[in-house]
Structure 1
Amino acid sequence: MTGLLLRLAVIGIAALGLAACMDETEREAGPGRIVRVETVTASDLGDVATITGDIQAEQEVARAFRIAGRLTDRPVNVGDAVEAGDLIARLDPQQEEAGLSAAIAAVVAAQGEVATAQNVYDRHAELLRRGFTTRARYDETLKVLRLAEAGLRDAEAQREVAEDRLAFTEIVADTDGVVTARGAEPGEVVAAGQMVVRIARDDGRDAVFDVPARLVHALAQADTLNVRLADDRNVTATGRVRVIAPEADPTTGTFEVRVGLDHPPASMLLGGSVVGEIELQSAVVVSIPASALTRGHGLPAVWTVEPETSTAALRPIEILSFAPSSVIVASGLNPSDVIVTAGTQALHPGQRLVPLPPNTN
């Protein structure tokens, strides 16, 4: 009897233990652990590089005299606005005026010689018709007439040259613009072709930058570039890369890049300092909240929610960089993955999860 009671007691204890295990299993398979989740989305990891430069004219014209001479007048200075037709500089015209007077006198003399030769020829032509002169005499008068006519043409050509030289003693603006440099002062003797005034044309503005080699490719790929005044960042303009120097500057190792500005504001004056902003793009990455980060087997990891079973799974990840409240993940996660961002304590693989609604605090 005593042995029977002992066996019943053992069976009862085993039954109680089995019941406890069943209760624990039921709790694990019940509603699950409440967690906060977030769906992973892809993004481009962008950065902005800044470069400095200045405003220059899209085109500059160097004006010079075609002849040498003494500069007597230069009514414009650096910074002056000029319009097409305005006088820019003048040489002493005395020598060219004398040359033109001599050329005109030569034309008048040649015209007289032609008139005389024409009269002689006409008279001998009539005499030849009547038989009162010889063919040889007639041919001689014709030759004299042709030589006189050639002399007149030469004299007229010399007069045109003299007129041009007199016109070359003045330089006028051929376009509206602003004077950016001067190369000679009144009283100096200037050579033909020597720059006297440089004019920045009003038909375009460039932002010119000296760009490091590592940014040249990004600039070449950029559709547009944001340009701001260095002393007033609220003054902005957009532009497109117009010219990239084919070779680097041997001293600085940088490449000159000219960006044509679209309708720049009036306050972006020539010579003003500007800052350009280049958007740099990297490979597609994902950013997750820092609270989602945990460790698995000594490596960075996150808990994900298996979509078919709503259970937890530990996923190793590779971290690209850290931010104050987020982590940039280089690999290990895909867009549309669901990760646990709160409630990660004491999770284990296969555990049933109950995500909180998005608006639940």
Structure 2
Amino acid sequence: MPPRFASTYSPNLLLKSLLLMLFVGLAACSEAEIEPTEDSVGQGGQPAQRVTVETAETRDVDVRQDYAGRARGAREVEVRARIQGILEERLYQEGQVVSEGDSLFRIDPKPSEAALQGARAQRQVAEADLRQAEREWNRISSLYERNAVSERDRDSARSALELAQANLAVAEAGVTEAELNLGYTDVRAPVDGVTSLEDLPEGSLVNQGTLLTTIVQQNPVHVRFALPEGDAAIQRTARDAMTDAASAEDVDATLIMANGQEYDRTGKVDFTASTLDSRTGTVSARAVFQNPENQIIPGQFVRVRVQLQTLENVVTVPEKAITEGSEGPQIFVVDDESKARARPVRLGPVVEGRQVILEGLKADETLIVSGLVDLRDGTEVETGDDGGEAE
């Protein structure tokens, strides 16, 4: 009988053992081939990341802000009749630019002329009475000195003289009033400006105080706008300008027209309200602009650009260089070992497309401005030219 172990050592078992040994050998060879070496990668197992950098520089920055506003005439004057009468004629073209003193309407002057004649006649009567009273006073006073008349007669003559003087003064006032009323029949422009439509046609009976038209003074123009509650600097400066002419020179304003172009004349912010509008949380303000060529039309919407403050020796960076870190806004700088270092910063306003950095970045430091995707603190970087885009 053959040995027992010979019956368990079959050819199939031997084949499986050989295949298993071959597979283990191949796996060992593969692991040996793909094992990285220090010469093939950078520190951390990743190749250096390419970025674009710029050198931080400090400069003075003027912080400006735009506010929506509406232009208005510096003065909008209602032209009203000052006497009663028939409106005879309109002497201007509606919408015409008029100067102060130009005739606008004529009210029928005949009743006023008649009233003036009557007042002058009353003055003549008063003058005659005064001359008679003066003659009587001279005669009575002379007789009184010779004891020819009583003291009572003398006092009566003096009273008559004083009464005649008062009546003449009343008559003079009547003549003056009649002359004024006659002058009021010629309705003149009280200010320079642009006329509106007439409110009543010719032939209408007007009373004292009836509105005839409105004149809008377009030079200068006022632009009213609203300041947010936080813009306290310009509010204080404008309030100082109302009382101090020297301060007013510092409150400059630029007007941005509806087409986006800047108006060629600089204005002044001359007023800010002392109270806050509780409904909007804003403070009303006003800027004044000279408008000799009537380029600014009252009623149109414009924007007012004012300088809020000047920041001295601050660093500005492109907005895209700011990222969000665990502690808030941050930037990346490149250290002496060509590694990216995250740096938390305190941000100021954005001026002309660049972000002001108040704290966290100094002059002459190298700042990463692009190539920030997946960038981590300590990552080895390869810097490119400032004009490149490494995203």
Match of 1:275 among 284, 302, 308: 302
Say yes or no: does 1:53 pair with 2:70: yes
Give 1:115's aligned amino acid: R
Say yes or no: does 1:201 pair with 2:228: no
TM-superposed CA distance for 1:147, in Å, is 2.6
Matches of 1:152 and 1:257, distance apart in 2: 55
Q: For 1:59, what is the secondary structure of its paired residue?
A: strand
Matches of 1:315 and 1:281, distance apart in 2: 31
TM-superposed CA distance for 1:109, in Å, is 1.7
- More displaced 10-residue stretch of structure 1: 186-195 or 251-260: 251-260
Tell me, yes or no, if the aligned pair for 2:255 and 2:262 is still in contact at 8 Å. no
Give 1:51's aligned amino acid: A
Matches of 2:368 and 2:233, distance apart in 1: 37
Q: For 2:68, what is the secondary structure of its paired residue?
A: strand
Say yes or no: does 1:159 pair with 2:175: yes
Matches of 2:92 and 2:144, distance apart in 1: 68
Matches of 1:331 and 1:108, distance apart in 2: 86
TM-superposed CA distance for 1:228, in Å, is 3.4
The 5 Å alignment of 1:66-215 reads 66-129=82-145, 132-180=148-196, 182-201=198-217, 203-209=219-225, 211=226, 213=228
Matches of 1:355 and 1:124, distance apart in 2: 120
**Deviations 1:128-170 (Å, cap 9, x if unpaired)?**
4555544444443343333333322222222222222222333
Per the alignment, residue 335 of structure 2 pairs with 305
TM-superposed CA distance for 1:87, in Å, is 1.2
Q: In the superposition, relative to structure 1, how do residues 197 and 247 fare at CA in structure 2: closer, same or farther (>3 Å)?
A: farther
Normalised TM-score (structure 2): 0.59
Per the alignment, residue 6 of structure 1 pairs with none
Matches of 2:287 and 2:303, distance apart in 1: 10
Matches of 1:217 and 1:77, distance apart in 2: 46
Q: For 1:117, what is the secondary structure of its paired residue?
A: helix
**Deviations 1:310-360 (Å, cap 9, x if unpaired)?**
46464365798xxxxx99797995224335679999999598x99789899
Give the paired residue count. Answer: 319
Give 1:122's aligned amino acid: N
Matches of 2:376 and 2:387, distance apart in 1: 23
Per the alignment, residue 12 of structure 1 pairs with none
Give 1:119's aligned amino acid: R
TM-superposed CA distance for 1:89, in Å, is 2.3
Matches of 1:349 and 1:119, distance apart in 2: 119
Q: In the superposition, relative to structure 1, how do residues 82 and 216 fare at CA in structure 2: closer, same or farther (>3 Å)?
A: farther
Matches of 1:327 and 1:152, distance apart in 2: 81
TM-superposed CA distance for 1:268, in Å, is 0.8
Matches of 1:339 and 1:129, distance apart in 2: 113
Match of 1:225 among 234, 242, 253: 253
Matches of 1:114 and 1:290, distance apart in 2: 95
Unaligned runs of 5+ in 2: 1-37, 239-250, 348-352
Matches of 1:313 and 1:246, distance apart in 2: 50
- More displaced 10-residue stretch of structure 1: 38-47 or 188-197: 38-47
Q: In the superposition, relative to structure 1, how do residues 213 and 73 fare at CA in structure 2: closer, same or farther (>3 Å)?
A: farther
Q: For 1:242, what is the secondary structure of its paired residue?
A: strand
User: RMSD over aligned Cα, in angstroms?
Assistant: 5.3
Tell me, yes or no, if the aligned pair for 1:305 and 1:313 is still in contact at 8 Å. yes
- More displaced 10-residue stretch of structure 1: 335-344 or 174-183: 335-344
Matches of 1:127 and 1:290, distance apart in 2: 111
Q: In the superposition, relative to structure 1, how do residues 259 and 105 fare at CA in structure 2: closer, same or farther (>3 Å)?
A: same
Match of 1:243 among 267, 271, 276: 271
Q: In the superposition, relative to structure 1, how do residues 341 and 272 fare at CA in structure 2: closer, same or farther (>3 Å)?
A: closer
Unaligned runs of 5+ in 1: 1-22, 321-325
TM-superposed CA distance for 1:202, in Å, is 5.7
Identity of aligned residues (%): 22
Tell me, yes or no, if the aligned pair for 1:182 and 1:196 is still in contact at 8 Å. yes
